Amino acid sequence: MIDIGYNATLVAIGAGLLGVAAGVIGAFLYFRKRSLMSDAISHATLPGVAIAFLVMVALGGEGRNLVGLLTGAALSSLAGLWLVHWINRNTRLGEDAAIGAILSVFFGFGIVLLTVIQTIGAGRQAGLESFLLGSTAGMLRADAYVIAVGGALALIACLILRRPMTLVSFDAEYAATQGLRPGRVDMAMMTLALAVTVIGLKVVGLILIVALLILPAVAARFWSDRSEVVALLAGVIGGVSGAVGAVISSLAPGLPTGPIIVLVAAALFTVSLILAPTRGVLAGVIAQLRFRHRVHMRQGLLALAHGHRVHEGYTLRLLRRAGLIRADGVATSEGQREAALAAQDERRWTVLRGRPEAATLAAHYDGLTPIDTVLTSDQLTELDRLMKQGSDHGHATIRRAERGRSDG
């Protein structure tokens, strides 16, 4: 077992709790289609960090006090969030344009303030640049406690608000009929995102915290269609990313913490993208191959039923592999039986699709689905009776025509 030390263990625990909170909250932002709002929130924190440092130094305090810096970041981020809402409501600009304007202006202003701070004697050793990409190398035990407790509180608040946030995310109008106020729920959601962003500045940095809010959520979405499962998986993926990334960063102090955590999250996203059982790339490829197999088998059996030779290479190989035709292309007894069943299935579908009252059931026809998976046994019996009546009627018509020609 790797011994990373007591302080590094605290940092890993704090980063893990932060990751869990970011993953769960990020899932609700994803459901609400507000993921990029976290980008504006994160970039708006930089001026607050710089201003808080200057104020604390001017008052004779410790400029690097984490609580003070995070308080400044929260106030600055709240101002940026309010401006985004104000621009969106009172101008013709959309939310995306408002986000782009606010994050660029606030971030530029923050960079200017950081440059000014570097010219101050106390500012040269401030280490405020760690808030850009994150760093745990100089983190104190008290800082780790602040991050761990803050992440845990944000997660608890998210769990308490999960029902209203879920309702508003998927159907704001219905949520309003249930007595909820979507605007207030949205603001609560943004406040939770702001809290996670501010808490995660020291670990992940303001540039990359948005990735910790988005990547776990989109990775979890590959594994489930249920919102509660997606939120749970997003929390697990975020927690693993934060803890593992912090451990790797502590073992290699020269590497910035934030990018390592994001790379771990990106690796888990890539695994989800490829290996998820229903939405992953590999599952899609397998489904496509199975569909192709079904199409060729069906067409091959119908060709045998009509007495045609199968010449297409892939279809021929499938039928031979299944033991339905011999090497010379002649159908085996099993092949003849399967071909007859396929032909009967196609005739049943033809009759069903020709009856207007069965339009709903006929809509299931795709050329591959067996009709006995759509109709009940009683419905199949009735369908076969109609087919027989149609066949008898056709034969009677032919006999009458033949008698007419002989009489003439």
Torsion over CA of 328, 329, 334 and 336, rounded to 10 degrees? -130
Mean pLDDT of 99-112: 89
pLDDT for position 126: 57
% of the chain beyond a pLDDT of 70: 90
77's tokens: 């981020």
Say if residues 25 and 193 touch (Cβ distance below 8 Å): yes
Q: Angle, nearest 10°, between helix axes 6-31 and 209-221?
A: 60
Q: How far apart are CA 310 and CA 303, in angstroms?
A: 7
Residue 354: pLDDT over 50: yes
pLDDT for position 241: 94
Residues 6 or more apart from 344 whose CB is under 8 A from it? none
Where residue 215 falls among pLDDT bands split at 50, 70, 90? very high
Where residue 204 falls among pLDDT bands split at 50, 70, 90? confident
Asked: is 6-274 a CATH 3.40.605.10 domain? The reply is no
Q: How far apart are CA 79 and CA 322, in angstroms?
A: 68
Q: How far apart are CA 279 and CA 223, in angstroms?
A: 7
**234-247 pLDDT, tens digit each:** 999 999 999 999 88
Mean pLDDT of 236-265: 87
CA 78 to chain centre: 27
Say if residues 36 and 30 touch (Cβ distance below 8 Å): no
Q: How far apart are CA 270 and CA 50, in angstroms?
A: 36
Pairwise pLDDT comparison (389 vs 110), residue with the higher score: 110
Structural Rg of the chain based on CA atoms: 33
Residues comprising the chain, all counted: 408
pLDDT for position 395: 42
Task: Report helix, strand or coil for 254.
Answer: coil
Phi, psi of 331 (to 5 degrees): -70, 140
**284-320 pLDDT, tens digit each:** 999 999 999 999 999 899 988 988 877 768 888 889 8
Q: How far apart are CA 186 and CA 165, in angstroms?
A: 8
Say if residues 233 and 183 touch (Cβ distance below 8 Å): no
Among the residues of 123-208, which ranges form H helices? 130-133, 141-160, 162-170, 172-177, 182-199
Q: How far apart are CA 74 and CA 136, in angstroms?
A: 20
pLDDT for position 407: 56
SS (HEC) of 311-326: CCHHHHHHHHHCCCEC
Phi, psi of 336 (to 5 degrees): -65, -40
Residue 264: pLDDT over 50: yes
91's tokens: 């101008």
Q: How far apart are CA 263 and CA 268, in angstroms?
A: 9
**Residue of 17, 50, 72 whose CA lies nearest to 116:** 50
Residue 148: pLDDT over 50: yes
**113-143 pLDDT, tens digit each:** 888 888 876 555 556 777 777 776 666 677 7
**Taking CA 237 as the corner, what is the angle to CA 235 and CA 243, rounded to the nearest 5 degrees?**
95
pLDDT for position 394: 43
Average pLDDT, the chain: 85
Residue 390's alpha-carbon distances to 190, 347, 351, 398, in angstroms, are 66, 12, 9, 12
Q: DSSP characters for 89-121? A: HHSS--HHHHHHHHHHHHHHHHHHHHHHHHTST
**Residue of 250, 195, 185, 242 whose CA lies nearest to 216:** 242
Q: How far apart are CA 159 and CA 166, in angstroms?
A: 11
| β-bridge partners, 325 | 331
**355-405 pLDDT, tens digit each:** 888 888 889 898 899 999 998 989 888 888 888 876 554 444 434 444 554
Structure letter (DSSP) for residue 330: P
Q: How far apart are CA 218 and CA 232, in angstroms?
A: 12
Give the long-range contacts of residues 121-125, CB within 8 A, separation 24 or more: 122/57, 122/63, 123/53, 123/57, 123/63
Give the count of beta carbons closer than 10 Å to the beta carbon of residue 256: 21
| β-bridge partners, 331 | 325
Mean pLDDT of 187-192: 89
